[in-house]
């Protein structure tokens, strides 16, 4: 399967070209991974001490900030050191947000920056339940944070100082996957979304779309036969490279690697170049009804 589109870009501040943006959007909105093998996020000399797993608090897979002025979470170390680590994560946030705005200028009016993460811990050997095991093919969906069809766009940077690639598996197109698995999924129980919101299990009212996406996530991860035999491609994503995809649409699994930065952005369906390509519209076509 042709799951990548390669762009030989070597700057975080390219000129915004609407015609190129439309071409690139067609690729990632179809579920492909936009791969930028020459675009590196550089650690400054004094920041290279953060290239080690000891900065993680050991409880979270991510060291992260949830906004421009938000505190650093998931890290361990002296306060002054953590202030510098936070500045590093915030610098990546700014560069990744600017990159997306320049590559996809039509997204800008409705684009929202979300969590920024640094993952210094090796993928292999990390203990996790099957639901949290990111080495299994999955699409991203959040149990406590319903998004009602809003897209999840992510920018990843392999910052491994030893040249180790990050190995991903990428699965079949979203619609093909959904056709396989939707027959297994029942509709939500009447009143369940209201109850979960009332009990603060979710931060907002879960839509039927959110219900289906969570069940697809779980069906994918729990099906050992699907993980072994479904159509999939292995990608070797080089140190010093960046890749971009809609992680709610592109089924993916992280198999190996260490030292990665990640920026999440949210985009309403109506902000896409092609709203019909979204998981929301795809699931609505397959189920024959509105899901939000």
pLDDT tens sequence across 171-220: 999 999 999 999 999 999 999 999 999 999 999 999 999 999 999 999 99
What pLDDT digit, counting tens, does each position of 229-273 carry? 999 999 999 999 999 999 999 999 999 999 999 999 999 999 999
For residue 69, is pLDDT > 90?
no
pLDDT of the residue at 127? 62
| Per-residue pLDDT band at 60 (split at 50, 70, 90) | confident
Distance between CA 291 and CA 283 in Å, rounded? 8
72 inside domain = yes
Contact status, residue 255 vs residue 94, Cβ threshold 8 Å: no
pLDDT of the residue at 6? 98
Structural domains counted in the chain = 1
pLDDT of the residue at 91? 97
249 inside domain = yes
For residue 68, is pLDDT > 90?
no
121 inside domain = yes
pLDDT of the residue at 131? 87
29 inside domain = yes
292 inside domain = no
pLDDT of the residue at 125? 73
Residue showing tokens 């936070």 = 86
Distance between CA 91 and CA 70 in Å, rounded? 14
107 inside domain = yes
175 inside domain = yes
Contact status, residue 149 vs residue 209, Cβ threshold 8 Å: yes
What pLDDT digit, counting tens, does each position of 116-142 carry? 999 999 998 776 788 889 999 999 999
For residue 12, is pLDDT > 70?
yes
Average pLDDT, the chain: 96
For residue 147, is pLDDT > 80?
yes
Contact status, residue 111 vs residue 101, Cβ threshold 8 Å: yes
Distance between CA 134 and CA 255 in Å, rounded? 8
Other C-beta atoms closer than 10 Å to the C-beta of 144 total 11
What is the domain extent for residue 37?
4-287
∠ CA 150-137-225, rounded to 5°: 135
Average pLDDT over residues 82-107: 97
Contact status, residue 42 vs residue 23, Cβ threshold 8 Å: no
Distance between CA 100 and CA 98 in Å, rounded? 6
């Amino acid at each position: 399967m042709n799951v990548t589109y390669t762009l030989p870009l070597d700057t975080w501040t390219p000129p915004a070209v609407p015609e190129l943006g439309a071409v690139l959007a067609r690729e990632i909105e179809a579920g492909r991974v936009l791969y930028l093998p020459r675009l590196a996020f550089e650690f400054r000399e004094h920041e290279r001490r953060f290239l080690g797993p000891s900065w993680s608090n050991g409880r979270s897979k991510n060291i992260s900030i949830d906004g421009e002025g938000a505190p650093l979470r998931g890290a361990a170390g002296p306060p002054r050191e953590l202030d510098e680590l936070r500045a590093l994560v915030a610098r990546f946030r700014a560069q990744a947000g600017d990159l997306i705005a320049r590559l996809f200028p039509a997204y800008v009016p409705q684009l929202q920056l979300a969590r920024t993460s640094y993952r210094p811990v090796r993928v292999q050997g990390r203990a996790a339940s099957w639901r949290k095991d990111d080495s299994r093919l999955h699409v991203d969906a959040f149990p406590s944070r319903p998004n009602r069809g809003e897209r999840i766009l992510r920018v990843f940077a392999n910052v491994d100082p030893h040249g180790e690639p990050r190995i991903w598996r990428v699965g079949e197109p979203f619609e093909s996957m959904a056709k396989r698995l939707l027959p297994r999924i029942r509709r939500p129980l009447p009143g369940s979304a209201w109850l979960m919101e009332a009990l603060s299990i979710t931060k907002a009212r879960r839509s039927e779309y959110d219900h289906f996406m969570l069940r697809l996530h779980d069906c994918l991860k729990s099906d050992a036969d699907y993980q072994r035999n479904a159509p999939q491609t292995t990608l070797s994503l080089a140190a010093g490279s960046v890749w971009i995809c809609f992680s709610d649409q592109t089924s993916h699994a992280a198999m190996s690697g260490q030292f990665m930065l990640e920026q999440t952005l949210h985009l309403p369906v109506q902000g896409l170049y092609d709203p019909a390509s979204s998981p929301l519209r795809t699931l609505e076509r397959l189920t024959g009804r509105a899901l939000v």
